[in-house]
Amino acid sequence: MHNKQYEIIERRPTVLEHKTLWEAVGWGNVNIDMTERSIDNSVYAVVVISDDQVVGMGRIVGDGAMYYYIQDVAVLPDYQKLGIGQQIVDKLMQYIRLHCVGAGFVGLFASQGEEPFYEKLGFKDYSPGMTGMFTVIEK
Burial of 88 by CB count in 10 Å (0-12 exposed, 13-18 middle, 19+ buried)? buried
Residue-level pLDDT at 133: 67
The pTM (predicted TM-score) of the whole model is 0.86
| 68 and 100 Cβ atoms separated by less than 8 Å | yes
Residue 113 vs residue 37, higher pLDDT: 37
Fold entry, domain 7-119: Aminopeptidase (3.40.630)
**What are the extents of the domains in the chain?**
7-119
User: How far is Cα 53 from Cα 55, in angstroms, rounded to an integer?
Assistant: 6
User: How far is Cα 49 from Cα 9, in angstroms, rounded to an integer?
Assistant: 7
**Active site positions, annotated:** 118
Residue-level pLDDT at 15: 97
